[in-house]
Amino acid sequence: MAFTAPKETYSGKVYNLTIGAGDRAVSFGGENVLPFLFFEGAIPNKPLAAYEIQDVPPADWPENVRKPFSSVSGDTVAWAKFCQDTLKAKAIALRLIGTHPDRENRSAEDAAKTVKDVLSAINIPLIILGSNHAEKDAPVLIAAAEAAKGKNCIIGKAQEANYKTIAAAAMANNHKLIAMSELDINLSKQLNILITQMGFDKERLITDPMCSALGYGLEYTYSVMERIRLAALSQNDATMQTPILADVGMYVWKIKETHAPESDMPLWGNAEERGIAWEAATAAGLLIAGAELLIMRHPKAVEAVEKLIEELI
C-alpha cells in the first residue's frame, strides 16, 4: 500500500501585497500554508529581500558591511543605483536615519527631497523607513509619503505613539504601511486593529513584530512570528493575515559577533565571513518562522538567503 503523507489544511490565508509599479513591481505574501510547505497548499510568491541604504553615510556600520558600498555610500542616490544596477536588488529600503535628533536632525523637507531623488533614479520598489524616533518620524514620514505619491511604496514604521499621522499619510498617498510593535502578539494585533479602525485597508498592512539577531533572542522573535502566522492560518484571524517584516540587518550588524576583530577573537574565525553567516542564518530562521519581507545589508548574505529560498521553493 502506497504511503500518503498527512497534510494539514488551513482556513486562513495571508494577504497578497504588491509594491512598486509596472514590470518591476514585486508581490509577496498570498500563501495559505505555513512557510515553504508548498505540498500542502499555495505559495504564489517568494519572500522578498530588500537592500538597506541610508540618507547619510553608514559610519556606525562595521567595516565588513560598509566595504561593499564604500564607493557609493556617501551619496544616497548612487547607493540606490548601485543596489539596483550592480547587485540586481529586487527592492530597496531607504532608512532616513539622518533625521534622528541625535544624528543630523535633518528636516522633513530634507527627507522628502532624498526620497524624490532616489525614486527618480530607480525603477524598483522602495521601502521608506524613518529613524525610529516616534516623535520625529511623524512629520518626516508624512513628507516622505507625499514625495512618493503614486509610487506604491511601503511607509514605516507606524508605532503606538505615532500611528495615526503615519497611517493617514500612507492612506492619503496610496502606500502600504508597516505597523511595528514590541515582540508581543497581542500588541501586534491591537495596533493592526487600531490602524484599520481609521479606515486603512488591512490588506495594505505589514506587521513588524520587531526582530532580533541569532543568539540575542532569536527564539523569542521566532515564537512571536510563528504565533502570528498560526493565528492567521489556523484561526483565520483577519487582523493577523498581514505579511510579516523581519528588519534583519540593523539588528545583526550591531552585535559583538559581527563587530569583534579577529585579533580580539581569533577562535571566532574570519570576521567578514562570520558577519555574513550571522546575517544569513538570522534571516533564514525568520523566513522559517513566517517572515515574507526581509531588510538586509550585506550582498553576500542576501545572495545566500535568495539561494536558500530558491532551494526551498
pLDDT of 194-253, one tens digit each?
999 999 999 999 999 999 999 999 999 999 999 999 999 999 999 999 999 999 999 999
Q: Residue 12, Cα to own-chain centre: how many angstroms?
A: 23
pTM (two decimals):
0.96
Please check whether residue 4 lies inside any domain of the structure.
no
Domain hosting residue 46, numbered range: 16-312
Please check whether residue 247 lies inside any domain of the structure.
yes
The identity of residue 307, as a single letter, is K
Please check whether residue 9 lies inside any domain of the structure.
no
CB distance 196 to 202 below 8 Å: yes
What does the pLDDT look like over 140-167, one tens digit per residue?
A: 999 999 999 999 999 999 999 999 999 9
Say which residue the cell 527618480 belongs to.
120
Please check whether residue 22 lies inside any domain of the structure.
yes
Please check whether residue 148 lies inside any domain of the structure.
yes
Please check whether residue 257 lies inside any domain of the structure.
yes
What does the pLDDT look like over 36-56, one tens digit per residue?
A: 999 999 999 999 999 999 999
Domain at 262, CATH number: 3.20.20.20
Phi/psi at 139 (5° precision): -70, -35
Q: What does each C-alpha distance from 92 to 88, 102, 164 come to in angstroms?
A: 10, 24, 25
CB distance 105 to 134 below 8 Å: no
Q: Tell me, what's the pLDDT at 30?
A: 97
Phi/psi at 247 (5° precision): -85, 75
CB distance 240 to 207 below 8 Å: yes
Q: Using 50, 70 and 90 to split pLDDT, how confident is the model at 31?
A: very high
Of the chain, the percentage scoring pLDDT greater than 70 comes to 100
Q: First and final CA of the chain: distance in angstroms?
A: 29
State the total domains in the chain.
1
Please check whether residue 3 lies inside any domain of the structure.
no
How far apart CA 37 and CA 34 sit, in angstroms, is 6
Please check whether residue 10 lies inside any domain of the structure.
no
